[in-house]
């Protein structure tokens, strides 16, 4: 860990470190996503933005698969060249944020969490918010919602960019399901990567 990160550790509390069991983390994630979906449904009904009508099984889903592969490759490259990316604090994010949370989950929990986050977050940010406020604003808010510490600023910018990519997919295909597929797959691959690095990859 760099001296800068050590300085931050002494100056600020570790907001990401989690001393909880995998089951507790999993239940918390599920509750958060249930809340996100509830907001999307209530907002959609109130504003007559019926996002569920834009979820279809068609060839547009292939765009989601392609986007997930592209994002995963980009994430791996970012990790490989993390020392050369300014303000990323990738090692701190991985060691103090992602590993303590997602590294504690089982493979089954990772799969469920990936599906829930992909479906619920896309329902809100692309399904409703993008329709109301546009692709750029919804993507910025999407990235900001993943910001819990100033060391996560660069990561949040990357997440906002990914969100804008999801918006482009939705605009091109008209199928919200493509965005959900991309989001679910990208999260699942990312979570597996974290589990692999944490040495906690288990089947049950």
Residue with more model confidence, 130 or 97: 130
Q: Band of the pLDDT at 100, cuts 50, 70, 90? A: confident
pLDDT digits (tens, 9 = 90+) for 132-185: 999 999 999 999 998 877 778 888 899 999 999 999 999 999 999 999 999 999
pLDDT of 117 over the 50 cut: yes
- Cβ count near 45 (within 10 Å): 11
Scanning the structure block, which residue is given the tokens 């019926």?
A: 50
End-to-end CA distance of the chain: 32
Residue with more model confidence, 88 or 46: 46
pLDDT of 1 over the 80 cut: no
| pLDDT value of residue 113 | 94
The length of the chain in residues reads 204
Q: Band of the pLDDT at 102, cuts 50, 70, 90? A: confident
Residue with more model confidence, 9 or 48: 48
Of 39-53, 78-92, 185-199, which one has max mean pLDDT? Answer: 39-53
| pLDDT value of residue 55 | 96
Domain ranges of the chain: 22-198
Q: Give the CA dihedral 163, 165, 171, 175, nearest 10 degrees.
A: -70
| pLDDT value of residue 49 | 96
């Amino acid at each position: 860990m760099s001296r800068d990160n050590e300085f931050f550790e002494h100056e600020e509390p570790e907001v990401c470190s989690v001393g909880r069991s995998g089951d507790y983390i999993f239940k918390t994630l599920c509750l958060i996503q249930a809340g996100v979906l509830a907001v999307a449904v209530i907002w959609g009904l109130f504003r007559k933005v019926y996002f569920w009508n834009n979820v279809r099984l068609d060839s547009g889903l292939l765009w989601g698969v392609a986007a997930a592969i592209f994002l995963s490759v980009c994430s791996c490259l970012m990790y490989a060249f993390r020392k050369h990316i300014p303000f990323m604090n990738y090692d701190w994010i991985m060691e103090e944020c992602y590993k303590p949370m997602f590294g504690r989950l089982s493979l089954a929990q990772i799969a469920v969490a990936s599906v829930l986050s992909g479906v619920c977050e896309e329902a809100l940010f692309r399904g409703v918010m993008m329709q109301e406020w546009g692709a750029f604003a919804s993507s910025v808010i999407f990235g900001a919602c993943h910001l819990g510490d100033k060391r996560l600023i660069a990561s949040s910018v990357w997440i906002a960019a990914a969100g804008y990519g999801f918006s482009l997919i939705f605009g091109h295909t008209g199928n919200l399901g493509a965005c959900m597929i991309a989001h679910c797959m990208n999260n699942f691959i990312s979570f597996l990567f974290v589990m692999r690095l944490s040495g906690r990859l288990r089947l049950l």
